[in-house]
């Protein structure tokens, strides 16, 4: 009886430099150029490393070998310089690994706090199968509330897409993203069917009044993106209505037509039941 035969070192070296499995046992159908598509090992298991194409594995292995040899040679010839370069490389590697870990952590938090709850809420209205994958039905950016970000909901073929159904989907998207959203694009006629949502543009917190040389063109505020909004009153007796709750700024806003009218020489009568709003 003979024991297990040892693999010759030249065979191990050849496998190391060519990216082949070191034990000679194939676990995936990965080739030199193409990554794996299926696991061929009887156990049905393979590491992520074994799914990579062989040229990538060979590059990593030979690169690591070259670094070890260069480190050894540097320690023999220029130890101080070698130590400095090694410390720099290790620091760069730590930054790289930390950045990847942070990105992976934020991705997991994004899925746990937003993508998965939104997917669970949409499964009922869209009549999706139990355990439906968010990757198939949702595209949610990392910062969906940022202006210009697009949140996409893919729709199943059996979903009718009536107006009340679209409204229900929009309300669920609003609820989880926590900012007003509007349906910027709805495609229901053919595959792929989807709804896309973008944050509703919000007006600025404050606007600088812009004088006008035209008595019938009055600047009354700014819209989204600080786009100026004008009231155009083409008659001699224009009418404006200001409606809002207590403390919403009606009196302050009414100073705009007041100043505009006085600037162009109009006579302004003020009927103020509070008798204090325009005393200044």
**Arithmetic mean of pLDDT, 130-144:** 90
Residues 22 and 60 in one domain: yes
Query: In this model, does residue 188 exceed pLDDT 70?
Result: yes
Query: In this model, does residue 261 exceed pLDDT 90?
Result: no
Range of the domain at 268: 204-279
pLDDT of residue 262: 86
Q: Which of 14-28, 132-146, 184-198, 231-245 has the lowest mean pLDDT?
A: 231-245
Query: In this model, does residue 235 exceed pLDDT 80?
Result: no
Q: Residue 7 domain-assigned? A: no
Q: Residue 58 domain-assigned? A: yes
**Arithmetic mean of pLDDT, 169-198:** 91
The domain boundary residue, chosen from 199, 218, 251: 199
Query: In this model, does residue 139 exceed pLDDT 90?
Result: yes
**Arithmetic mean of pLDDT, 68-95:** 89
Secondary structure (DSSP) of 67-80: HHHHHHHHHHH-HH
pLDDT of residue 280: 63
Residues 191 and 215 in one domain: no
Dihedral (Cα; 32, 34, 35, 39), 10-degree rounding = -80
Residues 116 and 192 in one domain: yes
Query: In this model, does residue 148 exceed pLDDT 90?
Result: no
**Arithmetic mean of pLDDT, 111-133:** 91
pLDDT in tens, 9-24: 888 888 888 888 888 8
Residues 172 and 212 in one domain: no
pLDDT of residue 55: 92
Residues 208 and 260 in one domain: yes
Q: How many domains does the chain have?
A: 3
Residues 140 and 182 in one domain: yes
The verdict on whether omega for the bond into residue 192 sits within 30 degrees of 0, i.e. cis, is: yes
Residues 183 and 208 in one domain: no
Q: Residue 3 domain-assigned? A: no
- For residue 5, name the pLDDT band (cuts at 50, 70, 90): low
Residues 225 and 160 in one domain: no
Q: Residue 228 domain-assigned? A: yes
Residues 48 and 128 in one domain: no
The domain boundary residue, chosen from 169, 199, 229: 199
């Amino acid at each position: 009886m003979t024991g297990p035969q040892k693999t010759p070192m030249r065979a191990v070296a050849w496998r190391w430099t060519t990216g082949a499995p070191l034990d000679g046992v194939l676990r995936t159908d990965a080739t030199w150029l193409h990554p794996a598509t299926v696991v061929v090992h009887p156990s049905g298991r393979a590491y992520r490393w074994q799914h990579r194409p062989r040229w990538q594995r060979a590059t990593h292995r030979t690169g690591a070998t070259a670094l070890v040899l260069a480190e050894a040679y540097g320690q023999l010839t220029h130890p101080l310089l070698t130590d400095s370069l090694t410390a720099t490389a290790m620091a760069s590697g730590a930054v790289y690994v930390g950045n990847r870990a942070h990105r992976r952590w934020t991705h997991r938090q994004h899925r746990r706090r937003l993508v998965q709850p939104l997917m669970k809420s949409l499964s009922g209205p869209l009549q999706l199968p139990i355990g439906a994958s968010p990757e198939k039905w949702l595209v949610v950016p990392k910062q969906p509330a940022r202006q210009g970000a697009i949140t996409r909901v893919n729709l199943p073929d059996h979903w009718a897409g009536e107006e009340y159904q679209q409204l229900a989907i929009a309300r669920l998207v609003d609820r989880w993203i926590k900012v007003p959203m509007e349906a910027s694009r709805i495609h229901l006629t053919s595959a792929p069917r989807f709804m896309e949502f973008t944050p509703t543009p919000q007006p600025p917190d404050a606007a600088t009044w812009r004088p006008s040389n035209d008595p019938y063109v009055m600047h009354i505020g700014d819209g989204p993106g600080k786009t100026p909004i004008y009231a155009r009153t083409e008659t001699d007796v224009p009418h404006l209505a200001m409606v809002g709750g207590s403390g919403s700024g009606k009196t302050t806003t009414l100073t705009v037509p007041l100043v505009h009218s006085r600037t162009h020489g109009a006579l302004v009568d003020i009927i103020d039941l509070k008798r204090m709003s325009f005393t200044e």
